[in-house]
Amino acid sequence: MRLRSRNLFIILSLLFGFGSCNSIEPKPFKEDAQDMTIKPITTNVKMVKIEGGKYQPFYGTNDSLIFVPSFMIDEHQVTNADFLEFVKKNPQWRRSNVKAIYVDSSYLKNWVSDTILPKDAKLDAPVCNVSWFAAKAYATAVNKRLPTLDEWEYLAMADEETPNARSKKAYSNAIVDLYLVRDRQYNSVKQSPPNYWGVYNVFDLVWEWTEDFNSVLVTGDSRTGKFDDKNLVCAAGATNATDVLNYAAFMRFGIRTSLKANYTVANLGFRCAKDLE
């Protein structure tokens, strides 16, 4: 009971602390000429196929199902080694060169230099302290993209045995317990079992950027229509949740509402996705 109360406190802090913005209509992100000069790199990360289907989004109405087409996604997050290769090949994304509009002051802040990882950092641990812009640039370099919010939430419904485990009481509780583990972002990828789809580390290492991470701020039922109240604060979006007991989802959407595209966070990384050929 004490642990559950602590979890609820964290959720409320995320929703009413991080998500206390007044504007719910951020300007659309614009592609920049810098993206056109990105040099390609190779990656050996395996991609797995996620079979498409319908799912109930966390925000919306109880009858607002969304169809997610089949897609491919990296089996694990982009690692320190992957991102190091990227900045070596693309010096405009090194810490000392990157334009301030694309990253905040914490971008790769623990790296010893532009091309030297932090002391004792694992090459196969997820890269963190990277902005949405940097993640998109990396995805471009490997001829991929970031997953959409719906794609990520759809694959994240799975546990190890079933594609949709949201009705299992232990599912959300286990995720919340993982969120309480400190410094898990420093661990290597693929050290825990994959989920039903063969995707590793969906919850147990880092938060992950999505292509449209801020879409919950601007749209209503199935993220196709806008809220009527233009003064609605972000935290109040919780009233539109389809499952108010899904603590883990509250936490995810709480942190998403706190982010801007140039933010970098110590336990926020990403993985890449791709349309089916």
d(CA 89, CA 141): 10
Our count of domains for the chain comes to: 1
Tell me the pLDDT of the chain (277 aa) as tens digits.
444 444 444 444 444 333 333 333 334 444 444 445 899 999 999 999 999 999 988 765 556 889 999 999 999 999 999 999 999 999 999 999 999 999 999 999 999 999 999 999 999 999 999 999 999 999 999 999 999 999 999 999 999 999 999 888 888 888 878 878 889 999 999 999 999 999 999 999 999 999 998 776 544 433 443 333 332 222 223 333 445 446 677 678 778 878 899 999 999 999 999 999 8
Would you state the structure tokens that stand for residue 221, as one six-digit string? 């039922």
Total number of residues shown for the chain:
277
Specify whether the CB–CB gap between 28 and 255 falls below 8 A.
no
Q: How many CB atoms lie within 10 A of CB 72?
A: 18
- Does residue 35 belong to any structural domain of this protein? no
Question: Residue 71: phi, psi to the nearest 5?
Answer: -155, 170
- Does residue 34 belong to any structural domain of this protein? no
Residue 243, classified by CB atoms within 10 Å of its CB into exposed (0-12), middle (13-18) or buried (19+), is middle
Query: pTM of the prediction?
Result: 0.79
What pLDDT score does 170 carry? 85
Q: How many CB atoms lie within 10 A of CB 126?
A: 29
- Does residue 218 belong to any structural domain of this protein? yes
Distances (CA, A) of 155 to 39, 136, 196, 262: 30, 20, 9, 26
Sheet holding 71-74, edge to edge: 47-50, 71-74, 273-275
- Chain-centre distance for alpha carbon 233: 22
| Domain containing residue 129 | 2-26+45-275
- Does residue 37 belong to any structural domain of this protein? no
In angstroms, the first-to-last Cα distance of the chain is 49
We report the CATH number of the domain holding residue 218 as 3.90.1580
What pLDDT score does 247 carry? 62
